[in-house]
């Protein structure tokens, strides 16, 4: 294109962008964990270097460190180490939108104009002389689809428009513009400038060559000193990312605007600095002369020139897109996707959600049947990553339809062990889960043990004790009442968070056990060692007000647990329930656990009742924290109840726990082999005798005096 004087218009090679995958991963992390729905502009830093190859231009690159750190304050500029010769840092701004519609609807021209105004102001207030990198400010707009791991983005490199445009007088390789002495001195000066940590990443500079052919590189702020030297050659140099032999790179545009507006120079001699293998290459570098006419209005500071600079995508003005889903490791992708819903909760619905507590929580599930399968999956959905399942059964043909972790293949050849099959299934669903299966029977009262099997049973008791001791939470999900007794006792002894879920045909019970009887005084060091590090220790180890403890699964019983499986018909031996019951109860059991973890009093929290006047409970982030939830599918109803601990409980009262501490395994064998042992120990035998010998004299209804009524 020809100018009016016959000289060609100076044309610039556009900047090109390159984004490292690490940038998108870091942006995703910041979006989920820090920014949330806040779409305020984010200061970022880009990097470029002088062209170092005759066939390839250097790009402006974004890396993971281009973004602020997680710990930095909002709107803080990323901390970037200076002095790297291969990474000249350039300030930028990122607008990351919350929706793709918002991305496409951004006022792109307005955003470009705003960044151009910053450059214009930096030129006029002198900041560009102190930090010349601001002349290459850039803009990035983006939308991150964190479900699909795809990103839409568009770069802009704002350039102030000279009107009329600059005309090119000549442009030649630098090696043709200097004498041999000047070229040697200039190469040495450039190499010294590039090797100094103070100047290596300063992208705009002055090149001065004196009458003795001695070259020196100066900062822009030294302009007045340089231009006053008579007889010296003076060139305006910049790091040129472009490799083209007939065009200077994009950074020269705003450099010419600075030269024109601040120093009123009409004829500008410029040097496009390029390298080869880390050294100045005057054969690749260019020297040119451009004529500039000061555009009308540039003398007025409030005036802001027009700007151009949106990057083209294959010659078209459209945004770019990238998908990282295929390039990511499947396990890493699964982890990111699994945590997505939880991290989104923290944006608005539940800012106090403690994901670290959940991910490091150790959960023990006793029973890998209908309830155990559902509880395990719901725990993983809440971010729990450490799960141990205990069961000694095998997968039967009737199981897969109701027990969601099993398939037909698990039923073949006599059936896989449930504990093993469940763990394998969990790892297929989510490879990052730390799941273990333990094949073990739980010793039960009412099921006497022959003397030759006593050692095996005692080994199972010790194993169960060690399992409970090494976990933070225990779920009781077994089929029979008596199988829950020993775990309830061991949990009361060690003050573990314990959740029970039990099913009838069309009814269910979900409850949290209260703290153990000695929780406020016994072995606090052991408690702390077994707690969930710092997060779990905050749940408290002492009763907060000395009030009555919440009860366990057995506190309402007036008889000891007995054999409930012998002499039963098939429908009594199997867990016959409506199919929708187990998912409901399992979900409530896990939600109850999460409520405990987020309650300030943890295991010692009082039992809340629906529609109660307890304002403290209603103010908790997850709402009320009930003690018991009883539901009925027959009536599609659900109610919350509170039951306090019983002094005669066969599992958690102080008498039973004290006896266990005193006698250990001998006590457990007594409870298993002698049906009335627990009733005698807790006083239930005497209570039942008193009740059976008590006679009620019912009033004949003729006396209206209420004082004769007896309340039982």
With respect to residue 330, please indicate whether it lies within any of the assigned structural domains. Answer: no
Residue 299 CB burial class (10 angstroms; 0-12, 13-18, ≥19) = exposed
Instruction: Give residue 350's pLDDT.
Output: 84
Is the domain of 123 the same as that of 207? no
| Residue 366 placed within a domain | yes
Helix (H, G, I), strand (E, B) or coil at 437: strand
Residue 411 belongs to domain with CATH number: 3.40.50.720
Query: Which range marks the domain in which residue 440 is found?
Result: 361-517+547-605+623-691
Same domain assignment for residues 387 and 468: yes
Q: Please tell me the total count of domains within the chain.
A: 3
What is the model's pLDDT at position 528? 36
User: Is residue 588 in a domain?
Assistant: yes
pLDDT score of 704: 44
Counting Cα atoms < 13 Å in the Cβ hemisphere of 146 gives 25
CA distance 37 to 63: 23
Per run of 10 residues, the mean pLDDT along the chain (length 712 residues) is 59 94 90 90 95 92 89 53 80 96 96 95 93 96 91 96 92 95 95 91 94 93 81 91 95 95 91 92 95 79 87 94 81 78 82 87 97 97 96 94 95 95 96 95 90 91 96 95 94 96 94 88 38 40 60 89 65 73 96 93 89 61 91 94 93 94 93 90 84 56 41 28
Catalytic choice (51, 272, 574, 652): 574
Nearest CA among 602, 399, 631, 608 for reference residue 508: 631
Element (H, E) at 255: helix 252-263
Q: Which of 214, 213, 258 is nearest to 236 (CA)?
A: 258
Enter the DSSP assignment of 130. Answer: H
436 with 570, same domain?
Answer: yes
At a CB cut-off of 8 Å and minimum separation 6, what does 343 contact? Answer: 32, 33, 355
498 and 569 both lie in a single domain: yes
Instruction: Tell me if residue 226 is catalytic.
Output: no
Q: Is residue 200 part of a domain?
A: yes
The CATH number for 51's domain is: 3.40.140.70
551 is a domain residue:
yes
Looking at the structure, do residues 229 and 124 belong to the same domain, yes or no?
no
Is residue 481 domain-shared with residue 510, that is, in the same domain? yes
Quick one: 136 and 239 in the same domain?
Answer: no
Is the pTM higher than 0.75? The answer reads no
**Rounded-to-integer distance, Cα 100 and Cα 267, Å:** 47
Q: Label the pairing between strands 267-273 and 275-276.
A: unpaired
DSSP helix/strand/coil, 566: coil
Where among 307, 341, 372 does a domain terminate?
A: 307
* pLDDT of 614: 57
Within this chain, do residues 480 and 628 fall inside the same structural domain, yes or no? yes
213: domain CATH number is: 3.40.140.100
CA 408: distance to chain centroid? 36
Please give the pLDDT value at position 644. Answer: 93
CA angle 229, 232, 237 (to 5 degrees): 105
State the DSSP code for 592. Answer: H
Out of 133, 160, 187, pick the residue that ends a domain: 160
Does one domain contain both 646 and 510?
yes
State the pairing for strand pair 138-145/88-97. parallel
Q: Let me know if residue 532 belongs to a domain.
A: no
Distance in angstroms (rounded) separating the CA atoms of residues 420 and 425: 9
Q: What is the DSSP string of 390-427?
A: E---B--TTSTTTSTT--GGGGSTT--BHHHHHHHHHH
Residue 575 lies in a domain: yes
In a domain, 316, yes or no: no
653 and 584 assigned to the same domain: yes
Do both 436 and 577 map to the same domain?
yes
Residues 64 and 186 occupy one common structural domain: no
């Amino acid at each position: 294109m020809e100018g009016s004087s016959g000289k060609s218009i100076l044309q610039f090679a556009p900047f090109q962008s390159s984004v490292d995958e690490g940038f998108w991963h870091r942006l995703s992390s910041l979006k989920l964990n820090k920014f949330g729905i806040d779409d305020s502009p984010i200061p970022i830093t880009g990097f470029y270097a002088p062209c170092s190859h005759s066939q390839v231009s250097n790009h402006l690159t974004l890396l993971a460190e281009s973004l602020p750190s997680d710990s930095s304050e909002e709107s803080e500029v990323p901390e970037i180490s200076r002095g790297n010769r291969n990474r000249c840092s350039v300030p930028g701004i990122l607008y990351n939108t919350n929706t793709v519609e918002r991305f496409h609807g951004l006022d792109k021209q307005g955003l470009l104009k705003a960044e151009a105004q910053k450059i214009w102001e930096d030129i006029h207030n002198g900041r560009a002389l102190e930090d010349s990198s601001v002349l290459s400010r850039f803009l990035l707009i983006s939308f991150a689809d964190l479900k699909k791991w795809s990103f839409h983005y568009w770069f802009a490199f704002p350039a102030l428009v000279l009107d009329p445009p600059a005309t090119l007088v000549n442009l030649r390789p630098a090696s043709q513009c200097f004498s041999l002495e000047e070229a040697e001195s200039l190469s040495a000066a450039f190499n010294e400038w590039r090797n100094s940590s103070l100047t290596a990443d300063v992208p705009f500079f002055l090149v001065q060559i004196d009458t003795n052919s001695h070259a020196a590189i100066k900062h822009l702020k030294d302009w007045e000193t340089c231009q006053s030297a008579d007889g010296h050659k003076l060139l305006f140099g910049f790091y040129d990312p472009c490799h083209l032999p007939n065009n200077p790179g994009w950074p020269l545009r705003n450099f010419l605007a600075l030269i024109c507006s601040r120093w009123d120079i009409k004829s500008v001699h410029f040097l496009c600095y390029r390298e080869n293998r880390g050294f100045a290459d005057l054969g690749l570098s260019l020297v040119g002369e451009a004529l500039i006419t000061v555009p009308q209005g540039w003398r007025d500071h409030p005036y802001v020139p027009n700007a151009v600079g949106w990057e083209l995508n294959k010659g078209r003005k459209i945004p770019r897109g990238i998908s990282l889903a295929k390039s990511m490791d499947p396990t890493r992708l699964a982890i990111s996707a699994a945590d997505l819903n939880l991290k989104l909760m923290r944006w608005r619905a539940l800012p106090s959600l403690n994901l670290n507590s959940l991910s490091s929580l150790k959960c023990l599930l006793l029973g890998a049947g209908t309830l155990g399968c559902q509880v395990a999956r719901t725990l993983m959905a809440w971010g729990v990553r450490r799960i141990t399942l205990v069961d000694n059964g095998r997968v039967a043909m009737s199981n897969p339809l109701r027990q969601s972790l099993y398939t037909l293949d698990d039923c073949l050849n006599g059936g896989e062990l449930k504990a093993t099959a469940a763990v394998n299934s969990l790892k297929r669903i989510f490879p990052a889960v730390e799941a273990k299966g333990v094949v073990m029977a739980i010793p039960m009262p009412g099921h006497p043990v022959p003397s030759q099997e006593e050692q095996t049973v005692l080994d199972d008791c010790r194993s169960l004790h060690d399992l409970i001791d090494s976990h933070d939470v225990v779920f009781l999900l077994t089929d029979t009442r008596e199988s829950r007794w020993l775990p309830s006792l061991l949990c009361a002894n060690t003050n573990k968070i314990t959740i029970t879920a039990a099913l009838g045909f069309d009814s269910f019970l979900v409850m949290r056990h209260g703290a153990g009887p000695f929780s406020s005084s016994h072995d606090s060091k052991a408690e702390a060692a077994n707690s969930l590090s710092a997060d779990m220790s905050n749940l408290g180890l002492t009763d907060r007000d000395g009030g009555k403890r919440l009860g366990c699964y057995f506190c309402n019983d007036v008889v000891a647990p007995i054999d409930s499986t012998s002499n039963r018909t098939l429908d009594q031996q199997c867990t016959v329930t409506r199919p929708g019951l187990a998912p409901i109860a399992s979900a409530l059991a896990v939600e109850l656990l999460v409520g405990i973890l987020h309650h300030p009093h943890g295991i010692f929290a009082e039992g809340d009742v629906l529609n109660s006047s307890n304002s403290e409970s209603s103010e908790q982030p997850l709402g009320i924290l009930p003690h018991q939830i009883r539901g009925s599918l027959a009536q599609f109803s659900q109610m919350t109840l509170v039951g306090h601990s019983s002094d005669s409980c066969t599992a958690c009262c102080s008498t039973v726990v004290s006896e266990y501490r005193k006698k250990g395994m001998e006590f457990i064998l007594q409870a298993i082999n002698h049906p009335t042992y627990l009733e005698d120990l807790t006083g239930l035998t005497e209570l039942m005798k008193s009740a059976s010998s008590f006679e009620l004299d019912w009033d004949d209804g003729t006396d209206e005096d209420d004082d004769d009524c007896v309340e039982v």
